[in-house]
Every structure is written in C-alpha cells, then in structure tokens.
Structure 1
Amino acid sequence: MTTQPPGLWAIALGSPLVSLLALFFIRSSIKSYKEGDNPDISKSLTSRSLYIGFLGKVILLLFWLGLLVLISVVNGGQVTFVDETLWRYGDPNLTERILFFGWIFSLTLTPAAIAFEAMMFVHATLKDTVFGIDNNLRKTFTTAVFTGIGVISFIVGSELMESVIGYGAAGGVFVGVFLLAVRKPILVILDKASNRFIPSTHTPEETAYLEAYATAMEDLIITVEERKLLDMMASTYGLSEKIVKQLEEEYNFSIEEE
C-alpha cells in the first residue's frame, strides 16, 4: 500500500500556516489605513478584501486538515489508493461509503479555498475600476455555494436511501425537491453572507445618486417629476444609463429583502 511522500504532506500542511502568517500582516495594514491623521478608507477596504480571502482560505484548509485526520482515524491509518479503490469498486458498507464520499469531498476543499481567495483578490484589485464588480462577485458566490450544497445534498441523500431501501435515486429526488422548495430563504441567507464578505463600494457621485433615489423611493413610487430630477442629477454627475440602472436595481433588491 503506497502512502503519500512526507514532502507532499509538509507542503499541504504548511499552506495554512503561511496564509495564517499573512493574515497578521494584512490585519496590521487595515489598522494602519484606518488610523492616523489621514485615514484611507479605500485602501482599508482593499486590505479587508484580501484579509477575508486569506481568512476564508485558512478556515477551509483547516477544515480539510481536520477532515483528513478524522478519515484516517476512522480508517485506521492513512488513506491509500487501495482503500479508495475498494471503497469505490468493492462492496462497501455504510461506514466505508461515508469514508469514500468524505475523502472525495476533502479533495474539493483545497480548490474551493483557492477559488475563494482568488475571488476576494479580484474584488480587492478591481473594486475601484470595474463598476458592479461587487454585485457580480456576490451573485457568483451565491450561485456557486447553492449549487455546491445541492450537489452534496443529492449525493448524501442518494447514498442514504441506497443503504436503507436499496434505491438511491429516491433520496436524490427527495433532496432535489426539498431544495427547490426552500431555495428562496437559502439564497437570502447566502446573499446576506456575501454582502458581509463583499461590501458595495461606490464613488461619491454614485453614493449621492443612491441617496437621492432612496429619498424618491420612500413611497415606493417614482413620479415623472422625480424621474426628471434623477435624470438631471445623473447627467450632472456623469453617470451613464447602465450605472444608473444598476444602482437602482441594487437599491430595489435591498428593500425587497427587508
């Protein structure tokens, strides 16, 4: 039975430690930008995005490490290619099925950690140059997480029903129908979480337009006169129709959640 070389384990286990060290440096940069006589909020938000990216990566990698340790303890030793082959093509019992899917799930955690870090890095670098990047990243994050939950739930449900009644598809169908029924509250929760990870950033002109639009929308109706004033304000601030539409959609979506 072939085990992984110690060097590979050292590289894998060293990654969370390096990211953890980076967290301390980024944390100190956030404080330095916020404090002082001339605080720089923009750079503070940039450092915050990088900090959240590294923090998410560390949490996922530590979870991956804990899962590997748990699988190894239950398996009675380090998982090898032979173990994985027997779990996949042999006649596994319920425990071995759980170990197999736990092992497969662990393989997705490292790419997920890197993807989350990359997403926050994109937000940090493009938030001041690409309008709407925060909204696009939030939608991507929400969709990806919900899809991941659906896939994992489908597999787990199928395996449980396969072990109980010998027909796994029934569990998958049940889980799929259940997720469709409760998808709206789940998406709301994910969207609120993504709003904490990726806060909206606007220029002073965009913020002023949003405030004016919020005032006009107090009665949830935009009159003809109010629309003319908003159009005049957008023209004065140099906001394009695309930006205005996205700002208004962002505000409308926020009040729909309340």
Structure 2
Amino acid sequence: MDFGTYPTLQLEHAGPALIVTVNRPEALNALAGQVVEDLTQLLLVLSELGREGQWPVRGVILTGAGEKSFVAGADIVEMNTMDAQAATEYGRKMHRVTLALEALPVPVIAAVNGFALGGGCELALACDYIYASSNARFGQPEVNLGLVPGFGGAVRLPRRVSPGMAREMIFSARPIKADEAYRIGLVNAVFDNKAALLEAAQEAVAELATKSPTAVANAKAAMSAMVGLSTVDALEVESTSFHSAFLTEDSVEGRNAFVAKRAAQFPGS
C-alpha cells in the first residue's frame, strides 16, 4: 500500500506498524496548517486499511521528531495572523483530523516524547493508547493566551481522566509530568527515554498483529460509538457489533482454532 509522501511527516513501515513522525523539530513540531493538511491526507489513505481483507499495517504509532517535543501545540505564530473565523476553521480542521484518528480501523498509539501541550495533548487524546517518555509534559495552556481548548481537549480530556482533574488542567494551564499523567490515567505507561518508548509501542503493535484484525476494528468502532450513550443504548451497540463480528471469517477461524487447540490463522475478513 502506498501511503504517500508529505512535507511535514516522516513515515516508516516497521513490521506491522506504521510510524508517523511529525517533522518540524525547529518549531517543536507545532501544528502549522501544512501539518494539519498532511495529517488529513494521510488519514484519508489510512482509512482504506482492511478493505477486501488487506491489512498492510496493524497499528499506527504517532510521534514527534527530536527529543524535546511530541507536538508542542498549535502554531501560535501562524494563528496570530488569523481572524476569529479563520482560527475557528483551523480548529475545525483539527477536529476532522482527530475524528479520523478515532475512526481508523487499527489502533493508534501516541508515543509522546517531550512536550504535548495544547493541540499536542489534544492530538494524543484522540489516540487509543498514550505511551510517554519520562521527559514528557502534558497540558492545556490555552487560558494563558486568553483562549480555550479548540482541538477537542475540553471534550476528550474529561473522558480520559476525572472531570475534576480535567477542569484543573484546563483552568490552571499547569503542565504535568509523565509520572503524574500516569497516576491520573492520562497515559498507559511511562518509559525511560524515546528509544524505549518507541520500542514498547512497536512491541504493542506486534502483539496486536497476533489478534483478529476484524475483531480489533469492530471493538474500536463499537467503543467509539458507545461514548455518551445510556447503558441500554450502549449495550445495543455492543450486541450489533457482536453480531457483525460473529459473521466474519476471522470469527469462524478463531472459534475453530480454539476447539482444535491450535493457533488461529486469521484471514482478516
């Protein structure tokens, strides 16, 4: 599968993983308009994963170039030239990026090295897992600029951590270190350095590659669809997802392999 080339992104196909690196280290990988456009176009390509049983990658790892920053946030220099309408459209474009990340049929791991502030934290929040290096810093500093989160932070942060902690992070603009982010449930795991971080992310994707790709995709889609629903309505989504999964060839293979006490060879359909 041809993933394309993009001015601000580096792509590396590493076994079952696609590593996507935001590559603007001179600007701490801030989300300039070109980065947003590149992410948008790449995600259009990735949305085709799994069509007709083809799974060229089983997970996406999103990280930032260099040691200092995952994504420092929105490009404030660029934003400062915008009027309110242009800034709002900038935010809506990032909404489309984050929604597309959530809609991918494969898991996405944010490998956060250094700063994940503002838009960087919001980008990580749209990923399925967040792994962090020990020097990672997370925060929503928008109130320091007289602004509020505009890329989904006020929506997703209270779903990842407690509502009270989300409010404290947004109202105070106080950045938190990796160990505190782990303690409050913002990140899944913390690693000593960037090399260990990326190694762990690749190991996670390798583990996922042993599972049924259709089942993982169905589970991700169902869990996203359940957000905000009542228990009764969410259980109906789960039932529909279970029904669809039961009809797949992966399910037939998985159940037959279990009965035969052998390893499953999932066809991916």
Task: State the TM-score, normalized to the length of structure 2.
Answer: 0.24
Instruction: Report the structure number with the largest CA radius of gyration.
Output: 1
The structure in which a higher percent of residues are helix is 1
The structure in which a higher percent of residues are strand is 2
Task: State the TM-score, normalized to the length of structure 1.
Answer: 0.25
